[in-house]
Chain A
Amino acid sequence: MTALALAVLAASAGCRKAKVDAFPASGSVAGWEKTSDTRTFAAKDLWQYIDGDAEQYIQAGVVSTSTSDYKYQGQLEAIVDVYTMGDANGARKIFETDQGKDAKTVALGDAGIAYAQSVTFRKGPNLVRIVAYEHTPATQQALVALAHGVEEKL
């Protein structure tokens, strides 16, 4: 009986989802360097990061938001935002508002889109947006590669 209880306890502890670090380390995606510490905002503090945009995420059930800066080949700067919602519906809701007519579908997570300077995808309760500050011929391909690196960690 005691052994069974311990086994159940151990199993439930194992099922408890550990906090995911979704941010690829420097060099783990070819050409990409992580250039800042990861900053995380609870829902109640999200205004400090994206005041004005925060409400739509809060309404969709955001739990926390993490962000970090990246640089590609020492030049192209980008930012990765990972919004962890309460459930997949919340991520879907935000994802759908981001889809413009000129978005290109990409195979990422449960659904993904790319523009010339940005990639957005959702995977389970997570919504990921990666935005580059400049457009170069290599930008979109580099962003998609980084997005795959994030997807693998979610």
Chain B
Amino acid sequence: MKDRRQFLKEAATGAVLMSSGGRLGMAAMLGETAQAGKSKVVIARDPSLHGTAAQPDEQKVQNLLDRAITAYTGRAKPMEAWKSIVPMDKVIGLKVNGLGSKGIATHPALTMAVAERLQQAGVKPGNILIFDQNAQFLAACGMTINTDPTRVRCIPSDVAGWEDEESSFGVARIRITKIVTRECAMVINLPILKDHRMAGVTFAMKNMYGVVDKPFTLHANNCNPGVADLNAIPVIRNKIRITIGDAISSVYDGGPGFRPERLWYPNALIVGEDRVALDTIAWEMLERKRADEGLRTFEADGRPPRYIATAADATHQLGTNDPQRIHRVEI
């Protein structure tokens, strides 16, 4: 039997969750739907999602989420899909991204749709914890801070506090928010697709900069290997289980801040567990859009997202960036 110290140590790295098998064994569950040996990524689109309003239609976002999650899991109904993904009796974090201001932040309609479905699947409201780096970023995502445990909670990383002890992998030497290390059993990653002035692309892996105390220390050399090293830290590697990427709107140049003159509406959600495969597809989407707009490639612009290949290398093994090993499903 494990002693308390060992249990806490494993909880902090996500090892408890990983070994719980069955219910959370997504890889096994997906075996029936994913092509053998490939990482499945679902790109679900609804061209009518974004009308002329600043925010997309909430019901359409909910419907698109249902389509995406059922396609990803191979389950017929959204509730079955969610029940196969999350543990009902543990705290589930939703990591949003509000760094780019409210003009280009994780859409509240998506965050609330996920929170709604989690509750319908049986997760207690207080066991859903929406978070980002600080209160300003959460406000940009349309979220109001709430610590009432009877409702969906919303707490900034810096308010929850950072671990006293540094975590490290490669160049990453940072302190992680206690929301990830202590509160959450798993985290659903809700990044938003954007161009990034230094990293080239910001999506699944780069969103983890919002869970650490000093993200700016990971910016050198176009964030390579900073992004890969950060994601390889055990607690981040293990607890960030699934990404529901917001590509409802995007900034294809001049990011990560809001550049309305470079705003674009892919009207899509991108779902997967393999963060490297997700970022590979994100890179491809942004590259294609930039070409359509007559902009230089990221390589020609001096900021290719090399961190993606680094994340796939033998040292990091965070996923695959090989298109032949990505089972891409477009619906």
Where the two chains meet, the residues of A that have a C-beta atom closer than 8 Å to any C-beta of B are: 47-56, 77, 79, 98, 100, 102-103, 115-118, 131-135
The answer for the CA separation of A51 and B71 in the assembled complex, in Å, is 35
* Residue contact A79 to B261, C-beta cutoff 8 Å: no
Pick the contact of B261 from A55, A77, A100, A133 — CB < 8 Å? A100
* Residues of the B chain whose Cβ atoms lie less than 8 Å from the Cβ of A117: 260-261
Interface centre among A52, A77, A132 (most CB of B within 10 A): A52
Q: In chain A, what residue has the closest Cβ to B54? A: A134
* A residues in contact with B133, CB < 8 Å: 51
Asked whether A53 and B257 contact (CB < 8 A) given A133-B103, A134-B54, the answer is yes
List the interface of chain B (C-beta within 8 A of A). 54, 99, 101-103, 133-134, 136, 196-199, 202, 209, 215-216, 219, 254-262
User: Do the beta carbons of A52 and B103 come within 8 Å of each other?
Assistant: no
Residues of A close to B261: CB separation below 8 A: 100, 102-103, 115-118
Is B103 in contact with A50, judged by CB distance below 8 angstroms?
no
Kindly state the separation between the CA atoms of A153 and B197 in the bound complex, as whole angstroms: 31
Interface centre among A53, A56, A134 (most CB of B within 10 A): A53
User: Measured between C-beta atoms, what is the minimum distance from B174 to chain A in Å?
Assistant: 13
Inter-subunit contact B216/A54 (CB<8 Å): yes
- Which residues of chain B come closer than 8 Å to A50, judged between CB atoms? 99, 257
- Using known A-B contacts A47-B216, A52-B199, determine if residue A132 contacts B257 with beta carbons closer than 8 Å: no
- Is the Cβ of B216 less than 8 Å from the Cβ of A116? no
From A48, A52, A98, A131, give the contact of B258 (CB < 8 A).
A131
Residues of A within 8 A of B196 (CB): 52
B262 proximity list for chain A (CB < 8 A): 100
8 A-B residue contacts at CB 8 Å? A47-B215, A52-B99, A52-B196, A52-B197, A52-B209, A54-B216, A56-B197, A77-B102
- Docked pose: A115 CA to B254 CA in angstroms: 14
Instruction: Point out the residues of chain A lying under 8 angstroms from B198, CB to CB.
Output: 52, 55
